[in-house]
Amino acid sequence: MKAAHRKESGQQMEKLRKTVNRLWDRVPHYREKMERAGVGPTDIRSPEDLGKLPFTTKQDLRDAYPFGLLACDREELLRVHASSGTTGKMTIVAYTKNDLDAWKDCMANCLSIAGVTPGDTLQVMFGYGLFTGGLGFHYGGEHLGATVIPSGTGFTERQIQLMQDLGSTAIACTPSYAVHLSEVLASKREGQPGPGHSLKVAILGAEPWTEALRQTVQAGLGVPALDIFGLSEVMGPGVAIECPRQDGLHLNEEHFMAEIIDPVSGELLPDGEEGELVLTTLTKEALPLIRYRTRDLTRIIPGRCACGRDGIRIARIRGRSDDMLIIKGVNVFPTQVEAALGKVEGLSMNYALEVSEHRFVKDLAVSVESVSSLGELQMERLEREAVRALHEALGLRVAVKVLLPGSLERFEGKAKRVRVTSGA
């Protein structure tokens, strides 16, 4: 048995068997997949047997659009969310009352791990609507007993006014928006002492981000920036979160089982080895998923966390296997570029990548803002340092253009870092 399964309890196995039975009985798609794999509910007797079950992919959800994988009656549904559909057809996510209660529990637990208490004021700067972020934080915060400000995305001046006037102690938003928020706060302080807010923690998610970006946010806001992980297909935010020790994300093991697999072969990998995260839901009623391939790249961190909590922790997501760029034969992840830029003093974390193709060969160019307005010679020096840092990190010579602060587009939700163009 691989080490990744060492924490599975008898209670988890009971939930797993119940989930497999539910899918076998109620979802023809899953029953057919299991029959083709030569496995049935009675074959799932121990943690090792999880690997006998077939994978689920996003394509399965798209092919079954909208309700082909539903494992309950339509009358039992209380809410429906959906993914953005930016890389294909939307994926529909459905919830029963028990599903929503479990989601609230997951989110309240995550917020508590992050240090949020019933006496805190949580300002939710994620989008509300079909996207799961806003409502996930909203109901989780209320379930914990915190005061929730549903401010949504954008309108940064108003966000700051609400933070200051209502005394927000925690915020939830994307990492890229947290950078923008800190920039606007800094411009409003105009040399006045103090941070200009009452925050004690920033909880950030919905996009991969690096330690370099974390340090930028923490320096700009003056509070810890903690990573939260989730995805719409399995629930929404609340699958795992960092504690203030910032040493891996604590998995909500009452509701999810995690595996790490080789993204090419699909073979299970041991603790500590990086691969693709695979999640199995244990308590979902409307849309249970077994062995869902998230495409997120991470690893399981062995041992107990310094905070004293046992259980599985996953490392922060390094990127997505489907976000990988192949530049002149070299595998490049946007987070690698971000990490390299973060090592160059004087560069901000506002950057964009342009991938061009000429005669079937892809090339990469990077635009990045400086922290402050600089002269031409200073900008050229930063460009040389950035080229060197990227060469050391990627083994590629990459063109870099350093821009003045404010030159690149800001995003209220997920940052759109990569633009692809084609040539002759």
Whether residues 9 and 48 share a domain: the answer is yes
pLDDT at 118 over 60: yes
CATH of residue 194's domain is 3.40.50.12780
Q: Can you give the residue range of the structural domain that contains 275? A: 1-320
Burial of 421: CB neighbours in 10 Å, binned 0-12, 13-18, 19+: exposed
Mean pLDDT, range 291-306, rounded to an integer: 95
Mean pLDDT, range 353-380, rounded to an integer: 88
Q: Which of 269, 298, 320 is the last residue of a domain?
A: 320
Predicted confidence at residue 84, as pLDDT, reads 62
pLDDT at 6 over 50: no
Distances (CA, A) of 98 to 78, 285, 290: 9, 7, 18
Mean pLDDT, range 130-139, rounded to an integer: 95
Q: Which of 320, 348, 367 is the last residue of a domain?
A: 320
* pLDDT tens profile 182-240: 989 988 876 666 678 999 999 999 888 999 999 999 999 999 999 999 999 999 999 99
Strand pairing class (319-320; 325-327):
unpaired
Closest C-alpha among 313, 384, 312, 290 to residue 346? 384
Residues whose CB is less than 8 angstroms from the CB of residue 28 and which lie 6 or more positions away in sequence, other chains included:
none
Domain total of the chain = 2
Q: What is the mean pLDDT of the chain?
A: 91
Asked whether 73 and 79 are in contact (CB, 8 A), the reply is no
pLDDT at 41 over 90: yes
pLDDT at 401 over 50: yes
Whether residues 285 and 344 share a domain: the answer is no
Alpha carbon 424 to its chain's center: 36
Whether residues 351 and 337 share a domain: the answer is yes
The answer to whether the predicted template modeling score (pTM) of the entire model surpasses 0.75 is: yes
Whether residues 66 and 186 share a domain: the answer is yes
Q: Which of 262, 295, 320 is the last residue of a domain?
A: 320
Instruction: Quote the percentage of the chain above a pLDDT of 90.
Output: 77
Predicted confidence at residue 121, as pLDDT, reads 98
Whether residues 309 and 329 share a domain: the answer is no
DSSP string, 69-129: T--S-GGG--EEEE---TTSS--EEEE-HHHHHHHHHHHHHHHHHTT--TT-EEEE-SPPS
Alpha carbon 191 to its chain's center: 34
DSSP H or E stretch at residue 336: helix 334-341
Higher-pLDDT residue of 412 and 175 is 175
CATH of residue 387's domain is 3.30.300.30
Predicted confidence at residue 87, as pLDDT, reads 47
Predicted confidence at residue 421, as pLDDT, reads 78
Whether residues 64 and 200 share a domain: the answer is yes
